[in-house]
Amino acid sequence: MSSPRFRAAVEVPAGVPVLGVPVYSDLSTPPGAGAEVNAAYLMQRRFEGKPGQAQAMLADDGTTVVALGVGEPGSVDADALRRAGSALARHAGSASRVATTLVAAAGDPGLAAAVVEGIGLGAYRYASAPKRIEGNGRVEYVTVVGAQPAAVKRGQVAVEATCRARDWVNLPARDFTPREFARVVGQAAAGTGVKVEVWEEQRIKAERLGGLLGVAAGAAEPPRLLRLSYRARVNGKSTRKGAAPTIALVGKGITFDSGGLSLKPPAGMMHMKADMGGAAAVVTATLAAAELGLRVNVTTWVAATENMPSGTAIHPGDVLVARNGKTIEVLNTDAEGRLVLADALSLAVEEEPDAIVDVATLTGGQRVALGDSVAAVMGTDEALIRRVIAAGEAAGEPAWELPLFPGYRKSLDSEVADLKNVSAGPAASTITAGLFLKDFSGSGPWAHLDIASPSWSDVEDGWITKGATGWGARTLIELLEAWAP
């Protein structure tokens, strides 16, 4: 789905059918709100000005004024603005054009990006092709009054990246195979300055990507390895090596995960088209970095395959050899994400970037530990972990650090290989998965972001819509933007 188009303006345009107005918890409005609200009417409707609350009213000139709760005066933050923006998108009715003065409540015109994100992400809807009706009953054009144009552009890019990631994850797995993923990424990168290299089976074998080949062995669809490269430009020219920081992004791209021979139960497969959420996040963030012209170099690796049961699938007890030469005893074929990431991380390490960040829908234990709204982060460099957490906080995608407790590493010891792909029991499964990846992360700064649960939602909540959330794309954009000199 295409996202709304946003523009900055100094005043509310004439004739706009819907106007979103910020309202504090005391039912007052800030200077520059653009319209008065009837506090008595709002009280009757039990409107309390909480972020995410909305109440529509009809003005004398026929404009629908939507009161948008933003919380207490002086404490309006980006999250409150996102929630207010998403509430406006859901209360716009059939209007294709809306305007909002939400920035007036922020005290910082730079926070217009959060307003744009809230409206754009709240307006998102996915439907399969037979049900999709473009331009019917959805917001198409949004005027953000009092905003900085640069902040509006920044928000627009973040919305488009997240919505693109949502679209890719929401697509049925039969329509979004590894080959189709590679084709679509190449198409999306055309003209952006991002170079896309696609490795097919022969190249994957030649490059000794044993983890990726092992997982792909049971699928009729062939695997793909994608390498994206964006180089910062100054005065229209690419920067020389070392002139800008180089960040490697690595994404898990399992386009459908049945569990392989360690077959998942039916309920566990219902949303397994979403197992490439990490790959969608790293790719769309890379394209966004190019569109924003960030002064940071980005190299992105995606290992894409299906994980299917068949007569050719890997068996529990098989041993694979990863790109870096380490041997892996596969005891559970449903722990496949770490196998493909082992190869992709090894490739990233060889290019000696300044830091590596991988994003993956990796473990069910992430939900057990942190629930549906907080991602897990761990790694080898505390400064990098702090950067990732700060980026997630700025994006409204919180992450919490889990320890890579070295004492748990022995649970991955194997009698026949360098390590096995699962520990003996379910305890600390997210941490032991991180410890597995650490063996392939090299000696430089590395962070691992497990987005297993936040990548998909069964409910609407603020900027979150049902289905794929696009989680991680905006965190990475914030991370790259903060890193750029």
Integer Cα distance of 379 and 356 in angstroms: 10
Alpha-carbon distance values, 63 to 66, 163, 206 (Å): 9, 29, 64
Neighbouring residues of 463: CB distance < 8 A, sequence distance ≥ 6 = 82, 83, 85, 86, 117, 118, 121, 122, 396
Answer left, alpha or beta for residue 240, where phi above 0 means left and psi between -120 and 50 means alpha: beta
| Catalytic-role residue among 82, 338, 387, 474 | 338
Strands (E), 412-477: 419-420, 446-450, 456-457, 467-468
Q: Name the token pair of 326.
A: 């380490």
Task: For helices 149-170 and 112-122, give the axis angle rounded to 10 degrees.
Answer: 30
Strands (E), 53-139: 54-58, 64-71, 97-100
**Residue-wise DSSP of 395-419:** HT--EEE----GGGGGGG--SSSSE
Neighbouring residues of 129: CB distance < 8 A, sequence distance ≥ 6 = none
Query: Which one, of 52, 54, 51, 55, lies nearest residue 75 by Cα?
Result: 51
* 338 catalytically annotated: yes
Phi, psi angle pair for 469, to nearest 5°: -100, -15
In 10 A of CB 366, how many CB atoms? Answer: 27
In 10 A of CB 39, how many CB atoms? Answer: 16
Integer Cα distance of 354 and 248 in angstroms: 8
Integer Cα distance of 104 and 146 in angstroms: 7
* 195 catalytically annotated: no
| Catalytic-role residue among 264, 326, 367, 466 | 264
Question: Which residue stretches of 171-310 are H helix?
Answer: 178-189, 201-206, 210-216, 277-292
Answer left, alpha or beta for residue 274, where phi above 0 means left and psi between -120 and 50 means alpha: alpha
- Active site positions, annotated: 264, 338
